[in-house]
Chains A and B, each alone.
Chain A
């Protein structure tokens, strides 16, 4: 008789405390989680067409590194006409091939090889042939080719980033 109501009351207090705690914490957790996750949630990105150099300035068989200049937004900052990245351009007749300088392995900048005709990444020693195909090292895929077109004698490149380290080329937002 004396035990019953006391345990009931204790149980009720327990339920109130736990429910209240969960509701209160949950109310805070939902916007908090949104706040943290939202900036990170980006879908697959669209490429941007960026004009680079004149077709005439490219020589057959000699890859040339050119900067990609456009507006860049980083959170609250908008930078007008800055270098977003760079591409290797290789002229083939009136067409141009383009590869991102970002190594498909882990994202360092790929330079021309100092010892051979192709490309080389200084971070983990991946090397690529002059056509961007991987030759040796840890890169899981060839250099990322970018779409190009020639507009009024000027080479435009579709600038895009891809997920690093994967065998297939997945565009990123």
Chain B
């Protein structure tokens, strides 16, 4: 081994060079700066290593980005550790870069001849933020995509070149495939190269001048050993963060058509809040760009601002505290508003639900058209969003629909024995017909009508509880589909229920096409009531003999159930019918 080393040394002098590098004295005197610097380098190293590893599995296109990140996070062995380390090293780097600047300002490490090293330190924070913004888009999930859309539009507000600059970053008029590849190239090659140059340039200056005034020469070896220990501690801290968070967050695939409550990354939340204090497009640009630019310029000019005769408490400490406190206050205000915003909480919960469902779906494999197609075509998610968009303005089902605004029946348990039993007893209860056009149209099977005096002759349609139970069980069984669990009700009871229905209900209702003696058209067909075919037919149009008839669409029936076959594709009608039926019965779609 040493022979090989000697052979190489003879030709390259690597031993001499390495020894010279280690023996070369450095300027000490700023242990905190050295420790922070070592931590920055450690994080950068972790980012570079995990970044290259992630590149092995990442595929930057709108169809594949989310799927490949999902694959890394949830399928690939130790993928969550690699991605988690990358994510947490990036977050830590932001904090460290800010600390580095704060320490530099306090320790006056911007003073001659360290001005350039100071600017490079400021540049480190800028680069880390730029890496955070470009990297946030790469998973192509809801959070990253929407944050970039809004930030791209803020860039577009810049005077004169705004529109051009936005198109340059986004690769066209909309954030699409070319925007993703651009951000990717910036994130993995351009910005890291600049980062390396900045770190090396900074090192060569501080090796000559030290971090602060008055440092003396110290041997390099011990300093290097201390830095190594710091770096190891940092790496273990990153492992701890990764383990605590179990990887890194990944929301559902980016969906440009969703009502996503976009929020920026945490480190931009102060700017998000600051923006709200400015009104009007030019003022808004000032809020998001000029205010931070002025703060950055102030720090960059510290070597000249902090002159002899000017109290440091005013020119350094006060601005530093003001920036730190302002940032914290803005972030706190933004967080506080969202924490108390019910609409936000609801939109957030929706996004989280879709995100979790997307991961479950992706476990079975993502189609070549991409993760968004997968989510959009999933019957469970699609059914829910169709119900929310088209049905929930009148009906209530689960957490969808507002009971205060409902004008149609509540669909929880719809089609079950329990629902039918309650319904035939009191059809005008608010959860059935009480709030809509069918109020008063269906008599109770066992209650005396309100307009019949106590002395008038009246017989209930169904006399005993046993008969009622038989009717309910029979009607519920009409909705059964192949594959449903078998019913406990015996065949005799079902037959009894069927006989009662066909004898006594068909004055108004149809049963197997017969009945409705007065031709009212507003009492539905009871055969296959609650089945998929019945529900699908009802959603497509209530005015077919399969459910209700023409009269169901009579404008005099205010707020009647509309037909959806003109608005929705047959596929969507099918999905929303299946979804509604399944969720009424407390099931989900496969």
Chain A: residues with CB nearer than 8 A to chain B?
36-37, 39-42, 45, 53-54, 56-57, 65-67, 74-77, 83, 85-86, 106-109, 111, 114, 120, 122-125, 138, 140, 161, 163-167, 172-173
Q: Given A39-B172, A76-B177, A165–B157 Cβ distance below 8 Å?
A: yes
For B168, give its contact among A36, A54, A109, A173 (CB under 8 Å): A36
Additional A-B contact list (13), CB under 8 Å, known A108-B149, A123-B263: A40-B168, A41-B167, A65-B389, A74-B62, A74-B174, A76-B177, A107-B153, A108-B261, A109-B257, A120-B343, A122-B261, A123-B262, A161-B173
In the bound assembly, the distance between CA atoms of A33 and B401 in angstroms comes to 54
For B275, give its contact among A45, A122, A124 (CB under 8 Å): A124
State which residues 359-409 of B face A: CB under 8 Å: 389
In the bound assembly, the distance between CA atoms of A140 and B567 in angstroms comes to 33
Q: Which residues of B contact A57 (CB under 8 A)?
A: 562, 566-567
Segment from B9-17, B74-82, B230-238, B279-287 that makes contact with A: B279-287
In the bound assembly, the distance between CA atoms of A125 and B341 in angstroms comes to 11
Say yes or no: A107 contacts B150, CB within 8 Å: yes
For A77, give its contact among B163, B167, B177, B257 (CB under 8 Å): B177
Q: Given A65-B389, A107-B149, A109-B260, A40–B344 Cβ distance below 8 Å?
A: no
Q: Distance (Å) between the CB of A170 and the closest chain B CB?
A: 8
Say yes or no: A123 contacts B176, CB within 8 Å: no
| B164-190 near A? 1/0 per residue, CB < 8 Å | 100110111110111000000000000
In the bound assembly, the distance between CA atoms of A125 and B263 in angstroms comes to 12
Cβ-Cβ contact count across A and B, 8 Å cutoff: 103
Interface size class of B (residues with CB under 8 A): 35 or more
Say yes or no: B164 contacts A165, CB within 8 Å: no
Say yes or no: A164 contacts B259, CB within 8 Å: no
Q: Distance (Å) between the CB of A64 and the closest chain B CB?
A: 9
In the bound assembly, the distance between CA atoms of A167 and B172 in angstroms comes to 22
Q: Given A40-B167, A45-B173, A122-B259, A163–B279 Cβ distance below 8 Å?
A: no
Q: Which residues of A contact B281 (CB under 8 A)?
A: 140, 165-167
Nearest neighbor of B347 in chain A, beta-carbon distance = A122
Q: Distance (Å) between the CB of B264 and the closest chain A CB?
A: 10
Say yes or no: B173 contacts A123, CB within 8 Å: no
Q: Is B449 an interface residue (CB 8 A)?
A: no
Q: Distance (Å) between the CB of A66 and the closest chain B CB?
A: 8
Q: Is B146 an interface residue (CB 8 A)?
A: yes
Q: Distance (Å) between the CB of A90 and the closest chain B CB?
A: 15
In the bound assembly, the distance between CA atoms of A56 and B168 in angstroms comes to 44
Say yes or no: B261 contacts A106, CB within 8 Å: no
Q: Is B63 an interface residue (CB 8 A)?
A: yes
Say yes or no: A165 contacts B168, CB within 8 Å: no
Q: Is B156 an interface residue (CB 8 A)?
A: yes
In the bound assembly, the distance between CA atoms of A114 and B259 in angstroms comes to 13
Say yes or no: A42 contacts B167, CB within 8 Å: yes
In the bound assembly, the distance between CA atoms of A83 and B382 in angstroms comes to 14
Say yes or no: B176 contacts A75, CB within 8 Å: yes
Q: Is B276 an interface residue (CB 8 A)?
A: yes
Cross-chain pairs A/B with CB under 8 angstroms, 25 sampled? A37-B168, A40-B164, A40-B167, A41-B167, A42-B173, A45-B173, A53-B567, A56-B566, A66-B567, A74-B174, A75-B171, A83-B257, A106-B153, A107-B150, A108-B146, A108-B260, A109-B257, A109-B260, A111-B259, A122-B344, A125-B276, A161-B173, A164-B153, A164-B156, A173-B173
Q: Which residues of A contact B176 (CB under 8 A)?
A: 74-75
Say yes or no: A77 contacts B63, CB within 8 Å: yes
Q: Distance (Å) between the CB of B185 and the closest chain A CB?
A: 10
Say yes or no: B164 contacts A67, CB within 8 Å: no
Q: Which residues of A contact B157 (CB under 8 A)?
A: 165-166
Q: Which residues of B contact A74 (CB under 8 A)?
A: 62, 174, 176-177
Q: Which residues of B contact A164 (CB under 8 A)?
A: 153, 156
Q: Given A39-B178, A108-B150, A122-B344, A165–B173 Cβ distance below 8 Å?
A: no
Nearest neighbor of A120 in chain B, beta-carbon distance = B343
Q: Distance (Å) between the CB of B277 and the closest chain A CB?
A: 10
Say yes or no: B566 contacts A54, CB within 8 Å: yes
Please provide the 8 A-B residue pairs with the shortest distance between their CB atoms, ordered closest to farther: A40-B167, A74-B176, A164-B153, A75-B177, A122-B261, A106-B153, A106-B150, A54-B566
Q: Which residues of B contact A161 (CB under 8 A)?
A: 173-174
Q: Which residues of B contact A39 (CB under 8 A)?
A: 171-172, 178
Say yes or no: B172 contacts A85, CB within 8 Å: no
Say yes or no: A109 contacts B566, CB within 8 Å: no
Nearest neighbor of B149 in chain A, beta-carbon distance = A107
Say yes or no: A85 contacts B167, CB within 8 Å: no
Q: Which residues of B contact A163 (CB under 8 A)?
A: 156, 163
Q: Which residues of A contact B163 (CB under 8 A)?
A: 163
Q: Distance (Å) between the CB of B165 and the closest chain A CB?
A: 9
Q: Which residues of B contact A65 (CB under 8 A)?
A: 389
Nearest neighbor of B171 in chain A, beta-carbon distance = A39
Nearest neighbor of B342 in chain A, beta-carbon distance = A114
In the bound assembly, the distance between CA atoms of A69 and B280 in angstroms comes to 33
| B259-295 near A? 1/0 per residue, CB < 8 Å | 1111100000000000110011100100000000000
| B23-65 near A? 1/0 per residue, CB < 8 Å | 0000000000000000000000000000000000000001100
In the bound assembly, the distance between CA atoms of A166 and B160 in angstroms comes to 12
In the bound assembly, the distance between CA atoms of A36 and B258 in angstroms comes to 31
Say yes or no: B62 contacts A140, CB within 8 Å: no
Say yes or no: A122 contacts B343, CB within 8 Å: yes
For B276, give its contact among A53, A138, A173 (CB under 8 Å): A138
Q: Which residues of B contact A120 (CB under 8 A)?
A: 343
Q: Is B154 an interface residue (CB 8 A)?
A: yes
Q: Which residues of B contact A123 (CB under 8 A)?
A: 146, 150, 261-263
In the bound assembly, the distance between CA atoms of A37 and B167 in angstroms comes to 9
For B259, give its contact among A42, A109, A125, A173 (CB under 8 Å): A109
For A140, give its contact among B170, B276, B280, B347 (CB under 8 Å): B280
Q: Given A40-B164, A53-B566, A165–B284 Cβ distance below 8 Å?
A: yes
State which residues 516-552 of B face A: CB under 8 Å: none
In the bound assembly, the distance between CA atoms of A83 and B163 in angstroms comes to 25
State which residues 172-214 of B face A: CB under 8 Å: 172-174, 176-178
In the bound assembly, the distance between CA atoms of A86 and B385 in angstroms comes to 15
Say yes or no: B276 contacts A124, CB within 8 Å: yes
Say yes or no: A138 contacts B174, CB within 8 Å: no
Q: Distance (Å) between the CB of B373 and the closest chain A CB?
A: 9
In the bound assembly, the distance between CA atoms of A15 and B89 in angstroms comes to 47
In the bound assembly, the distance between CA atoms of A122 and B153 in angstroms comes to 16
In the bound assembly, the distance between CA atoms of A165 and B155 in angstroms comes to 10
| B134-167 near A? 1/0 per residue, CB < 8 Å | 0000000000001001100110110000011001
